[in-house]
Every structure is written in structure tokens, then in C-alpha cells.
């Protein structure tokens, strides 16, 4: 065992280590951006997200349900409840399937509407020529 200094009491706690020196962290905005860097316009991105959510709210609902069921399943798995965990993982797959189906249906609908919009003027032009 190590020897104690002559003046130190025997039940004294060891001295705490000194606090580390503060480290200066430079903020990204203070640095020069990389050459050719174009900062994204966050307001446009947020506006686009809101526009998509308004056009197809079922995708947003499906995504939220998928995340909720996934989180609940992971919590059940961590607790060791294999029955609930298995049920939640099956529910997650169903919610993901619903979300993908809604995405596919909305894409088909938009494509159909675009075809109808372009077909109507073409039919009018054909009637005018006849």
C-alpha cells in the first residue's frame, strides 16, 4: 500500500482531479462555408413538406402510426414481453404496408389526373380541326 504524507489524516478522502480546461468549439456559422456550398432555403423545404402533407394526409398518418407501433414494440422487447413485441412488429409491417399503398394510390391518382388534363385539350383541338 502507498504511504500517506505525515500530516494527512487516515480517513481523509482523496483529492478530486482538476477540472479539464474548457475547449473552444467553433460554430459552423462562424467558419467560411466550403467552396461551392449552397445553403438550402429551409422555409421553402418546410413549405413543401406542408404542401405534401395537405395533399395526402394519409401518408402522414401512416408514418406516425408506423413510428408509434415501432416504438411500442421496441419498449416491449426491452421489457422482455415477447408476445406484445411480436404483435407490435406485425402491426408495424401492416402500418408500413398501408403507408406504401397510400403512396402508390396517390401517385396513380396524380398520374391519372395529369393524363385527363392533357387529354381534354387534345380532344378540343381535334374537334376544332374537324
2 domain residue, yes or no? no
Give the whole-angstrom CA distance, residue 108 versus residue 112.
6
pLDDT at position 5, please? 58
- Does residue 84 sit within a domain? yes
pTM of the complete model: 0.54
With respect to residue 103, please indicate whether it lies within any of the assigned structural domains: yes
Q: 111 exposed, middle or buried (CB, 10 Å; 0-12, 13-18, 19+)?
A: exposed
Q: Is the pLDDT of residue 48 over 80?
A: no
* Domains in the chain, number: 1
123 occurs within a structural domain: yes
What is the pLDDT, as a whole number, of residue 56? 81
Q: Which three cell numbers stand for residue 35?
A: 467552396
Domain that holds residue 59: 41-129
In this prediction, residue 7 carries a pLDDT of 57
Residue 26 has pLDDT above 70, yes or no: no
Q: Is residue 53 part of a domain?
A: yes
Amino acid at each position: 500500500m502507498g504511504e500517506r504524507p505525515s500530516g494527512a489524516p487516515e480517513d481523509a478522502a482523496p483529492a478530486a482531479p482538476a477540472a479539464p480546461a474548457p475547449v473552444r468549439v467553433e460554430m459552423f456559422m462562424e467558419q467560411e462555408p466550403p467552396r461551392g456550398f449552397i445553403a438550402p432555403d429551409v422555409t421553402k423545404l418546410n413549405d413543401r413538406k406542408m404542401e405534401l402533407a395537405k395533399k395526402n394526409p394519409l401518408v402522414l398518418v401512416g408514418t406516425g402510426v408506423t413510428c408509434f407501433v415501432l416504438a411500442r414494440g421496441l419498449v416491449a422487447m426491452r421489457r422482455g414481453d415477447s408476445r406484445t413485441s411480436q404483435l407490435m412488429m406485425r402491426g408495424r409491417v401492416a402500418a408500413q404496408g398501408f403507408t406504401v399503398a397510400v403512396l402508390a394510390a396517390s401517385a396513380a391518382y396524380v398520374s391519372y389526373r395529369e393524363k385527363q388534363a392533357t387529354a381534354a385539350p387534345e380532344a378540343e383541338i381535334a374537334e376544332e380541326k374537324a
